[in-house]
Structure 1
Amino acid sequence: MILADFIVFNDNGLYCHYGDFYLDPKLPVNKAVISHAHGDHAVGGNTNVYCTAATAAFMALRNGKTAAKEFHLKEFNDSFLIGDVLITLISAGHILGSAQVLMEFKGVKYLYTGDYKVQPDDTCEPIEWVKADVLITESTFAHPGTQHPGAVEEIKKLNNIKTNILLGAYALGKSQRLINLINTWCPQKKILVHHKIMPVNLIYEKFGFHLGQYQMYGRKLMKQQNEYVYIVPPFTFDSYFKATGVKRLFASGWKNLQTNAQDTLFISDHVDWNDILNCVKFVEPTQIWTLHGDGAHLKRYFEGSIEVKLLK
């Protein structure tokens, strides 16, 4: 029997009292299962953190000694118990080390996706599909009107821009994917990266994901018009709003982050509407629980066939 209260939100985040642990808590807790290392999923200060080795490395980079008192490193598809709940980390395809969390309790399987992606990406492990009774899915882009184009199709747009480019991207995950895509599909471009991105790149290289050619940003280099692509995190991108001699682009699935209608770069690391529907086909859940967005469209779409519950 599916337990309606198997996971619930409280002041600290998403809690499973049957195993006494949290999924991607918002505040430090005793036992946290972390799906991936983005800041909105991986706070520092937890006592015990269960995650992949790559996620632990990124958390240690960002939080130092306060990342966790103890990391319990888990391989994909190796099961372990927390309390009476059997947990297995399944590749989510979102960024390096990202995991879905399969939880089994009293014969029922609950699959928490975290953030996940089905588009091909050479800079992280591909998504893996498993069957579950309950699919607990992010719904960031769960709207029928949201369908993201392929990343290759989008990155090739850079070939038509002959000036230097200031390219905004999140430092973890998106930047590394862009470096790889540009090297593969825009080989004449010369990639410069912000100093905040370099340590993240080194962790990717350490885990065997080679990104291709890039170098640290130098002010003198960008004064030349030599088809440079300077990849910067959001705070730097926003501070360079008056930059001249460059084309400003921001790589994102969000329309409001595109800088102009003529030069868009819709490259998302999240599932869109069709991706979620395909996920449901693979997982074959009898219930869908949504979070991290608006699940109302999914509730209407599956009305009469699959029960959809909006967690938050």
Structure 2
Amino acid sequence: MHIIEDFLVKRDKGYYCSYGDFYIDPLYPVKHAVVSHAHGDHASPGHKNIYSTQGTASIMKYRYNKQPVESFHIKEFGEFFQINGVDIYFYPAGHILGSAQILMVYKGVRYLYTGDYKLQEDSTCEPLEFVEAEVLITETTFANPNTKHPDPVSEILKLDVKSNILLGCYALGKAQRITAMLNQHLPHKEVLLHYQIMPIHRIYDQFIDIPMKYEAYNRKSMKGPGENKIYLVPPLTLNSYRRAKNVLKAFASGWERLQAQNDISLYLSDHVDWQDILYFIDRVKPKAIWTLHGDGRLLHDYFSEQITIRDIQSQTFRPDYC
């Protein structure tokens, strides 16, 4: 077994595999794009061929409606396909609907690109599946021993207050997870959606087994009597509503810096924390770890004497759907 050190490299357009002549999560148009999930920092339009899961394709088709339908090559989880001699499989990543880990097999070596992933329970997406590989290519968004995501149910129960709530969250993934958790754990709360979030919920409705309960926001409803309404809005909308009265404000994120100006802290992340990364690595059993998407220096320090580990990108921070 020989690990090819430049099997996946960072280029201006994205992460490139020259041995199969394809990109993973490219941000600019390419011939072959293998897309892990539909968040905008991983999925972009303009590619000649897009390889993804059905969930990812459905969201991309909505967001990028000028992308030719015939450019999508939809693959099931676990289905074998090949691009220029590299064997590829998708496995659930547990991040959002349709999110996939990308397993690439070349000359007997298994290279596993995680994309963004989480181990916490989420009824609105496919649960993560553990896959063994010789090379693990992992995100490091929260790769810090001081980072421990709290229990998500305990966090959502913070919203059980006698007040209407203005809740900022990302339109894709976070909003649907919060809606499902509110439906399950605080069923007396009315979930109202910003118009930018509503279409994504409709896509999720086609895939998930447990139907979500929600309504479109209207100004009269939010200003009416009662104290059990939770209005989900995108981040920019929350910022523009900072002066709104008679509501408590919250923002769902794993980042502490995004909790500062809110009335309720809501630590909900769709990424792995430090302990989850370590557990994941133990299950994958890699002989080498390549890090990207975040600051992997502490992970490098932790594994430096146990596993070959290196950074395949120079970027140390990114704003993300966390």
- If the TM-score is normalised by the length of the shorter chain, which range does it land in? over 0.9
Q: Deviations over 1:63-118 (max 9, x none)?
A: 11236751000000011110111000000000010000000000000000000010
**One-letter amino acid of the counterpart of residue 302, structure 1:** F
3-state SS of paired residue (1:15):
strand
* Alpha-carbon offset, residue 260 of structure 1: 4.1
Specify the alignment match of 1:202 in structure 2. Answer: 202
> Residue type matched to 2:85 in 1?
D
Query: What is the 5 A alignment of 1:83-162?
Result: 83-159=84-160, 161-162=161-162
* Residues 259 and 243 of structure 1: CA distance in aligned 2, closer, same or farther (over 3 Å): farther
1:31 matched residue in structure 2: 32
Give me the whole-angstrom Cα distance separating, in 2, the residues matched to 1:184 and 1:210.
10
Listed as ranges, the gaps of 5+ residues in structure 1 are: none
Answer whether contact 1:110 1:135 (CA < 8 A) is retained. yes
1:269 partner amino acid? D
- For 1:65-76, what aligned pairs fall within 5 Å after superposition? 65-66=66-67, 70-76=71-77
Q: How far is the alpha carbon of 1:259 from its aligned partner?
A: 4.0
Shift of 1:206: 1.0
Contact 2:79 2:90 in 1 (8 A): yes
Q: Residue 75 of structure 1: SS of its match in structure 2?
A: coil
Q: Which residue of 2 aligns with 1:163?
A: 163
RMSD: 1.2
Structure 2: gaps spanning 5 or more residues: 314-322
The answer for the alignment partner of 2:300 in structure 1 is: 299
Alpha-carbon distance in structure 2 between the residues aligned to 1:137 and 1:209: 29
| Alpha-carbon separation, structure 2, partners of 1:96 and 1:298 | 28
TM normalised by structure 1 equals 0.97
Distance (Å, rounded) in 1 between the aligned partners of 2:193 and 2:260: 20
Q: Runs (4+) of structure 1 moved beyond 3 Å?
A: 208-211, 259-262
Distance 2:77 2:163 in 1: 43
Q: Hey, what's the Cα distance between the residues in 1 that align with 2:236 and 2:90?
A: 32
Distance 1:67 1:137, change over 3 A: farther
Q: For residue 215 of structure 1, what is the aligned residue in structure 2? A: 215
Please report how far the alpha carbon of residue 209 of structure 1 lies from its aligned counterpart in structure 2 after TM superposition: 4.0
Distance 2:59 2:23 in 1: 19
Whole-Å separation in 2 of the counterparts to 1:17 and 1:275: 31
Q: Distance in 1 between matches of 2:212 and 2:23?
A: 37
Shift of the 112–67 alpha-carbon distance from structure 1 to 2, 3 Å rule, reads farther
Equivalent residue number for residue 173 of structure 1: 173
CA distance in 2 between counterparts of 1:210 and 1:22 reads 35
Query: How many angstroms does 1:210 deviate by?
Result: 3.5
8 A contact 1:12–1:25 mirrored in 2: yes
| SS at 1:6 equivalent | coil
Deviations 1:234-274 (A, max 9, x none): 12111111111110100010111114476210000001111
Q: Residue 198 of structure 2 aligns to which amino acid in structure 1?
A: M
- Paired residue total: 311
Greater displacement, 111-120 / 235-244: 235-244
Deviations 1:205-231 (A, max 9, x none): 112344421100010111123310000
Q: 2:59 touches 2:200 (CA, 8 Å); kept in 1?
A: yes
